[in-house]
Each structure stands twice: as C-alpha cells, then as structure tokens.
Chain A
Amino acid sequence: MKEIVARERRLDSRSFIARKLPALALATVAAFVLSGYLFVSNAPSFAAQPAQEASIDTDTIHYDSGGFNLDAFVAKPKGGGQHPAVLVIHGEQGLDESMRTIAKQFAAAGLVALAPDLTSRLGGTRSPAQMAQAVGQLSLNLTLHDLRAAFAFLQKDADVDPSKISSVGFGWGGWRSFMLATSVPELYRAVVYSGSMPSQGFESIHAPVLANYAQYDFRVTGNALWTEKTMADAGKKFTYYVYPKVYHAFYTEGPQYDAEAAKLAWTRTLDFLQK
C-alpha cells in the first residue's frame, strides 16, 4: 500500500476526499476489481507528450452561453475532415494545465476537444487556490447551462462530426458529464471520472455512460451499484470500472496520480468514445 498520509491531498471542497482503505479490506475489494485490470502498454499517459503536440492545433476561444462569453481551451487534430468531439469538463481545480493536457491528448487521438472554463462567469482562470474556491461558488444550474451551450457550439464546428459529440468529466465535472446525458439527447457518449451521478432523469438518457472509479474514493465509488441498477432499470447502458488501490484524482498529474490506472482508464475511455 502506498504511503499517502504525508502527501498533499487534492481536495474537493464540496465532496469527500480520497481515503485509504484498511489493509484487511483491500484483499476482498481488490479481488473482484483486479479481474478486469489489464496493463496496456501503448496507451498515452497524461504527462505532456511533446511529440504529439506537433500533430494538433490548440487555441483559447470564447463561446456564447445565453449572452455571456465563456473562455474555453480547444485542441484539434491537424488536417481536414470531420472528427468526433469531446467536451472536457474540468474538476474542482478548474481548467488547469492538467485539463489542457488531457484535451491535447484527446486531439492527438483524433478528437476535437473543447474544455470550457466554467469559472469564466467569476473572472476565469486564476491561482490554483482561488480556482478551487471559485469552482465551489459556481451556480449549479448555470454550469449545466454553459455546458449545453458548449455542446451546441461544437455542433456548429465544421471540424466536428455532430453525431459524435461526447462528454468527459473529471471529479466535480464527472457529475456534470452524467447530467449532460440527461438533458442533451444528441450526446453521443458520456464518461465520468471519479464523479457523482444524477439522482433522477435516467429515463431521458440516450448516451451510453462509462464510469472510471477509484477504489479509495469510497463515497463516490460506493454508488456504483446503485447507478448500475438504476441505469439498467431505465434500460440504459452503463459500464463502470473500479481501479484498485488508487485515489480520487488518480487520472491526472498530482499527488494521487497513478500511471497504470490512468493509462488503463484512458484506453477504455478512448475505446468507448471511438466506438
């Protein structure tokens, strides 16, 4: 078991933080999740990949959401044609460098990635501490509204295949990715990383949903069964994976980053989005 206590923790100010499981409980939990845990050596990691940057274009753009201009980071594969697209929904740390890196990785994999800065209404990107505070102050409904506007923006992008626009949300953004599925019937796929789920509206979902959960993110991951059952009862597609011995923010650079789990989740996410 990794020593995590002395590490700096990535805090979600509005939810519970990653926790460590008692050693005795590990064996049983790991047993059933390990069965689906395969190492994928050729998957990209979330660390910067300079070689891939040559194959993509990036820009900071603005899009309209009910009369308000939001900032967004966009990354596109070089070359013409329409591409599948993905909305990258940031977590409690805001649109930081790790989110931009993830957007670039999507572009390198052939998707147009749009990462809105949902704190734009409060002044936009700032220091990490201020960012986390700003995210906590955002209006819940407005963030969903701004994401729907981002989806509409992508639909009009000539480089985007409008039938294949998905969403991927991380932590705080995970719930928003799932929620987007309940209110945007055209959404192609939704991916949740370490995020919560809606409490209702499942009957409105059209997009298949994939969830990547961390074993030590008990409060989030503990809801996997309820979500699976509720989605099944509503006749919807839901797949989840629990990554053993990792914490809430295993997917992104930082103290909880776990390269193996991040790679596997990434591969599964790409496969899911590109089906």
Chain B
Amino acid sequence: MAEGKYRVSAQAEGFEAGTAEVDLQGAGGHQDFALKTIKDTQDVVKQMTGQEYITSLPEDTPQHRKMKDVFYNTCTGCHEPNYILQNRFDEKGWEAILNLMARVYNGGGEFGGPDISPFPVMQYYKKELATYLAEMRGPGQSPMQIKLHARPKGEAARAIVTEYSIPVVDADPATTDNGFPTNDGTNWSLGTPSALNQSRGLHDSQTDRNGNIWFTTSEPNYTRTVSMVDTKTGSVTNIKVPGLNGMAALTHGLSMDQKGILWATVIGDPRSSGGSLMRVDPSTMKYEVIPPPKGNTGASTSVDVDTKGNVWATTSTGAIRYDPNTHEFKEFKSPTLTDNGPGGSYGIAADRMGNGWWTQINIDRVNRADIESGKTQEFKEAPRAARADGVLTAEDKKLYELAGTELTDFSAWWSQGPRRMGADKNGDTIWVCDYWGGNLEKYDIRTLKSTAYKYPTPESAPYDASVDKNHNVWVNLTNGDSVARFDPKTEQWTEYSLPTRGIDLRHISLDERDGVTRIVVGYTRNSKIARMQVRSRQELQALKAQAQQLSAQAKP
C-alpha cells in the first residue's frame, strides 16, 4: 500500500464497529481493535443479513410456517428481506406498507396509483401478513430466535475485497452525501440502506482487458447507459445512449467476448421491439446499438458470448443469438411461451458447444437451443418442498391459479426460481441458480442430465453463477450479502462475506486476465462495485512475515 493516511475499521455481527485512522509511513503501521459487544438485541438485528432474518423466523406452528413462506415468496423477490425486517411496525403500520407495495411497479419502485390492480397474492394475504409481521417485527416481544451466520474462518476468512464507491447517478445534493449514498451499508449498525435516493440501479459488472470495471444501469436516469470505473483512480466515466424523453437508455446484462468487446442488453429500447444489443469497445470507448430486426423479439435481461464469439441474449419469449461477423440474428422461442409475463427469460449462458441455455424464472424451466437443429427443448425443475406443504388450503390453491400460478414478480411456494446461470466454457456443464429453492443446478451439456446441489445455508437466495478456469462455480448469494465457491470435484462450498450490508447482489463475473481468479460483483442497492481475491495460506503467511520484518526494521 502507498504511504498515507488510511481509515481502518473492523466489524463483526454482535459488536460495534471499530474505526481508526492509521498513518502508513515507511515500515508500515499497526492498529489493534477491541470491539465492544452490543447488548441490545435490536441493535444486533440491524446488522443482520436477509438470510439471517429469514432463518430466524420461527416455524413452530402451521400458521408461522405458512406466513413465513408467503412473506419469503411474496416480498423478497425484488429486495432483500433485511430491507423489510429491520423495521418494526404495529399491524396498521405493516398494512399501510403492504397497501403501498401491492401497487408499486416492481421495475422502478414507483407507486402505480390506486386504480391499478394490486399484486394479487400480496393483496389476498395482506391482513394475515400484517398480523404476522407485527408479531415478528412489531412493538411487542417477538418469537424470532436470532440465528447469526457462523463467523468466517479458514479460507473463508482469507478474502481481500476492494470496493469502489460509485457516485449516485444524477445525484441530488439534498439526499446524498457529496454525491454518494448517505448510508451505503458500510456501517452495518446503520441497517440496510434505502435505495430511494437513487443509489439503486447499478446492475451487471464486467472487467475489461485493462482491468477497469464496466457496469450497466437499469434504473431511469439522465446520464448512464453503461459506465466504466477506472480501477486505479476510482473515477467513473459514463456513456449515455439517448433513450426516451431525454433520458439515458437503460441496460441490464453485460458480458465480454474473446476480443475484449463488451456486450450489453439495452432494455426497453425504442429502436427495437423491446430491447437491443449494445457493443462497446473499451479501448476506443466507441459504442454501437444493434436492434434486432423487425419481427424479432427484443433483448432483455441477460447476455453471454459463446466460444465462437456469438452473442446470446434473453428475450421475453426465449433467446436471440447475434453473429457479429455476419450481423445476423437468430431467434429461439421457449417451448412454453407466456409472452412478456410469466415465462419471460431471465438468465442466459452459452455452452462450449455453441448451444444457448436460458431460464424462465417464473415457471421453473431451463431451456436449451440446439444450434445445429435449431430446435429448443425445456427442462422442468421439480417443485421444491415448501415449509408450508400440508398447510395450503383449497382457497390458497385457487388464489394461485387465478393469479396465474407462477405469476411474474412472485413465486409460488413450490417454485425453484431458476434465475441466472453460467457456463463452464472449458467444460461440459451449465450451472443454474435456483433463487427460491436454494440450489445450484448442474446440467451436463452432453447427456443433458441435471443434478441439484443444495446450498448448505437455507434462504441464501443464489442468484447468478460464473465458472472459473479450474471449473469452480462462483455464486452470488443475494440474501447472504456474500459470494460462494462450489468445487464440483469435492462438492464442497466456501462462502465469503462481503464487507457491506444490504447489497442486493444480482450478477457475478470473473477477472482472470493474469491467471489469478478475481470475483467482481456490483452492489445494486449501495452503488458500489467489489472485486474479491482469495489468498492462499502461504500467501498470507508470507505477508505476515513481511509485515513482521518491516515492523522489526522500524524499531529503533
């Protein structure tokens, strides 16, 4: 590290954060921390991750089990449980919030007005949910049994995470801290941050060949379509593609091809029926928006590049493949098609044989396009066993039927929720994250057989997967504020906690330019990007020895 003054902090659940300034000169610096125990449970609760909140909800009665499922499936698809459960309200208070949320657009978070139809499942259970939430997180004694995640140890404690704070787009000085979020989740004791000051929006992130990190922005703004963080200086450069009404076109998915060209999906692009592809050359900063031809469905949430350089993107009805050499688009429809609602594609990955795979999160399907035959086939995931199994009434079932069963935005109790996915470009596997089911699902691209690997910590909400050069699968755990590595050989998991709370992780990418595997994730809620590297025990010991040597030299 360069000489200078550094703010150093130490944090652990159940303890107050310790912070200090260290003046790093010559031989280095030294700072010990003695963290104070937090005595009030309510203050500990504020530090908890979404996973910890959900796991702490009791399942001692059929009603508790049922409402835990209703809450988990209805209220945590768009934001983490900790954003909700850090609050305490009485029944009326929770009902007021549910009244609002039932009519909020899930994309932008705006209130749609009293005349739009509320989300049926939330509306139907509103009273029961309000009663339940007031019991769990109300003014009285809660039956929640606080269950904190085990502190990291061993390899899980050897991660170095570098976080880049990204200025809030179109920052309002009145609601930001010099252009940055007033609470960016750094101090866990402040609780899960609100994203209502426009700190939400950063979506996918990807390292370019120069080591700079690019990211997409999916929330309405006037400035950012795609942006680049200079990882040496931390400065951010924005590219704005004109959208509607003077605003920036919005982007969602992001990936890089073998030539170092970045590919993003432009969502809701007026130039096409739904969305376009965006090509960005990081070396020149030049970009091109490529709308699919008329008649093709537009690109949507996710993008991947196959081993031949073809760009695959999800659509509302399946997937498209774009050949940058011939400029040709090819469209593939999901066998079970539901048109821009339940059944819209979410995650995508291209296997090393050149076939495309995509998920339909709301109807529990994984699809594969066989590039040779042009045919698509689907794989229906087995329903998960819900806590509420046996508690469902005929009325409950009728509700889900009327609401489309696998209604967009919410899952049913039995949904697995295949969200995003990653391909092993050097192997024969595709890895799918079951958001609700908590599985990592492996698909063998040759036999087409699937195997589910349950994530050991329940309710962690695995979201996206990326496979490294050694075939390890890296997964971002939305409810855990963490990433995890799955070793397919040993079938063992290692979870790495990230330093910030309430981060709404939605994407994971790898940077392996120099042979070292670094994990890159964007914090959607907190306007940060993190790059993580795991050190070996030997590296750590060597570092310690070096520090001891410098320290000894510094002594008079």
A interface list, Cβ under 8 A from B: 4-5, 14-17, 19-25, 28-29, 32, 140, 172, 175-176, 179, 195-199, 216, 218-226, 242
Q: Hey, which chain B residues are within 8 Å of A225, CB to CB? A: 124, 395, 398-399, 402
Please tell me which stretch of B109-117, B170-178, B547-555 contacts chain A, meaning at least 4 of its Cβ atoms lie within 8 angstroms of it: B109-117
Find out whether the CB atom of B399 lies under 8 angstroms from the CB atom of A222. yes
State in angstroms the CA–CA spacing of A52 and B337 once bound together: 41
Q: Besides the contacts A19-B341, A21-B405, A221-B120, what 9 more A-B pairs have beta carbons closer than 8 Å? A: A5-B337, A15-B117, A19-B338, A22-B342, A218-B407, A219-B117, A219-B119, A222-B399, A226-B120
Residue among B114, B395, B402 making CB contact with A221, cutoff 8 Å: B402
Contact, CB under 8 Å: B123 / A25 = no
> CB within 8 Å of A: which residues of B?
99, 112-121, 123-124, 297, 317, 333, 336-343, 363, 395, 398-399, 401-408
Are A222 and B113 closer than 8 Å at their CB atoms? no
Residues of chain B lying within 8 A (CB to CB) of residue A221: 120, 402-403
Q: Which of A19, A24, A28 has the most CB of B within 10 A?
A: A19
Chain A minimum-CB-distance residue to B404: A218
**Chain A nearest CB, measured from B90 CB (Å):** 19
The reply to whether A218 and B116 contact each other, CB–CB distance below 8 Å, is no
- Whether B115 lies near A175 (C-beta < 8 A) is yes
Q: Is the CB of A223 within 8 A of B336?
A: no
Contact A219 B407 (CB under 8 A): yes
Q: Which residues of the other chain, A, contact B408 by a CB distance below 8 angstroms?
A: 19
How far does the Cβ of A25 sit from chain B's closest Cβ, in whole Å?
A: 5
CB distance from A29 to the nearest CB of B (A): 5
Partner of B406, one of A25, A176, A195, A199: A25
Contact indicator A17/B404 (Cβ below 8 Å): no
How near does chain A come to B378, taking the closest CB pair, in angstroms? 10
Are A199 and B117 interface neighbours, CB within 8 A? no
Question: Is A140's CB under 8 angstroms from B113's CB?
Answer: yes
What A residues does B113 contact at CB under 8 A? Answer: 14, 140
Contact A5 B399 (CB under 8 A): no
**Residues of the A chain whose Cβ atoms lie less than 8 Å from the Cβ of B333:** 5
Contact B120 A223 (CB under 8 A): yes
Contact A22 B402 (CB under 8 A): no
Of B121, B340, B401, the residue contacting A19 (CB under 8 A) is B340
Q: In the docked arrangement, what's the CA distance between A196 and B118, Å? A: 8
* Bound-state Cα–Cα, A220 to B116, Å: 9
Tell me, rounded to whole Å, the shortest Cβ–Cβ distance linking A208 to chain B.
21
**What is the bound-complex CA distance between A89 and B392, given in angstroms?**
39
Give A103 to B405 CA distance when docked, in angstroms: 36
A-B pairs under 8 A by CB, number? 113
Interchain CB contact under 8 A, B118 and A140 = no
- Chain A residues near B399 (CB-CB < 8 A): 222, 225
Complex-state Cα separation, A14 to B104, whole angstroms: 11
Residues of chain A with a CB closer than 8 A to B118's CB: 196, 199, 223
Contact B406 A223 (CB under 8 A): no
Q: Which residues of A contact B404 (CB under 8 A)?
A: 19, 21, 25, 216, 218, 222
Is A222 a contact partner of B402 (Cβ separation < 8 A)? yes
Residue contact B116 to A196, C-beta cutoff 8 Å: yes
CA distance A113 to B113 in the complex (A): 28
The docked-state distance in angstroms from the alpha carbon of A149 to that of B232 is: 66
CA distance A82 to B115 in the complex (A): 34
The docked-state distance in angstroms from the alpha carbon of A225 to that of B405 is 14
Prevailing SS type, chain B contact patch: loop
Instruction: For the complex of A and B, list the 7 residue pairs with the smallest distance between their C-beta atoms, beginning with the closest.
Output: A222-B120, A222-B403, A19-B341, A218-B404, A196-B117, A20-B339, A175-B115
Most interface-central of A20, A29, A32, A222 (chain B CB within 10 A)? A222
Q: When A218-B341, A225-B124 are in contact, do A199 and B401 touch as well, CB less than 8 Å?
A: no
Known: A5-B337, A19-B404. A172 touches B115 (CB 8 A): yes
Q: Are B336 and A218 in contact (CB under 8 A)?
A: no
Q: Are A32 and B342 in contact (CB under 8 A)?
A: no
> What CA separation (Å) do A221 and B405 show in the bound complex?
12
* Contacting residues, chain B, for A175 (C-beta < 8 A): 115
A24 and B337 alpha carbons, distance in the complex (Å)? 11
Give complex CA distance A16, B104 in Å. 12
Residue on A with the closest CB to B120?
Answer: A222
Residue of A nearest to B316 (CB): A5
A219–B408 Cα gap in the complex (Å)?
9
Q: A19-B342, A20-B343 are in contact. Are A218 and B112 (CB under 8 A)?
A: no
Which chain A positions have C-beta within 8 A of B120?
218-219, 221-223, 226
Contacts of B112 in A (CB 8 A): 14-15
Do B339 and A16 touch across chains, with their CB atoms under 8 A apart? no
Q: Does the CB pair B115–A14 fall under 8 Å?
A: yes
List B contacts of A195 (CB < 8 A).
117
Chain A residues contacting B317 (CB-CB under 8 Å) are 5
Is A22's CB under 8 angstroms from B343's CB?
yes
Chain B residue numbers with a CB within 8 Å of A197 are 117
Tell which of B116, B339, B398 touches A4, judged by Cβ atoms closer than 8 Å.
B339
User: In the complex the two chains form, what is the Cα distance from A197 to B103 in whole Å?
Assistant: 12
Check B117–A220 contact: CB distance below 8 A: yes
Using Cβ atoms and an 8 Å threshold, which residues of chain A touch B117? 15-16, 195-197, 219-220, 222-223
Name A4's closest neighbour in chain B (CB-CB): B339
Residues of B within 8 A of A218 (CB): 120, 341-342, 402-404, 407
Query: Could you show 8 A-B contacts with beta carbons less than 8 Å apart?
Result: A15-B117, A20-B337, A199-B99, A219-B120, A223-B120, A223-B123, A225-B124, A225-B398
A23 to B334, CA, bound (A): 12
Known contacts A4-B339, A24-B336: does B115 contact A196 (CB below 8 Å)?
yes
Residues on A with C-beta less than 8 A from B405 are: 21-22, 25, 28-29
Cβ distance A134 to chain B, nearest Cβ, rounded Å = 15
**For the complex, what is the distance from the CA of A254 to the CA of B351, rounded to whole Å?**
42
Kindly report which residue of chain B lies nearest to residue A14, judged by CB atoms. Answer: B116
Point out which of A17, A19, A22, A32 has the most chain B C-beta atoms below 10 A from its C-beta. A22
- Assuming the contacts A25-B405, A222-B403, asked whether A20 and B115 have C-beta atoms less than 8 A apart, the reply is no
A4 to B407, CA, bound (A): 18
Q: Which residue of B lies closest to A178 (CB)?
A: B115
Of all chain A residues, the one with the shortest Cβ separation from B363 is A22
**Cβ contact within 8 Å between B336 and A32:** no
**A64–B80 alpha-carbon span in the complex (Å):** 51
Using Cβ atoms and an 8 Å threshold, which residues of chain A touch B121?
222
Bound Cα distance A170, B338 (Å): 24
Cα of A112 to Cα of B297 in the assembled complex, Å? 45
Chain B residues lying within 8 Å of A29, measured Cβ to Cβ, are 401-402, 405
In the bound complex, CA of A20 to CA of B338 (Å):
4
Residues of A within 8 A of B363 (CB): 22
Q: When the two chains form the complex, which single residue of A15, A22, A32, A179 contacts B398, counting CB atoms closer than 8 Å?
A: A32
How many angstroms from the CA of A175 to the CA of B113 in the assembled complex? 12
CA of A199 to CA of B395, assembled, Å:
21
Nearest opposing residue in chain A for B118, CB measure: A223
Cα distance A199–B402 in the bound complex, in angstroms: 19
Indicate if the CB atoms of A222 and B407 lie closer than 8 Å: yes
Q: Report the minimum CB–CB distance from A10 to chain B (whole Å).
A: 13
Contacting residue for A226 out of B114, B123, B336, CB 8 A = B123
Give the distance to chain A from B323, nearest Cβ to Cβ, in Å: 24
Chain A hits for B114, CB < 8 A: 140, 198-199
Give the residues in chain A near B123, CB-CB below 8 Å: 223, 226
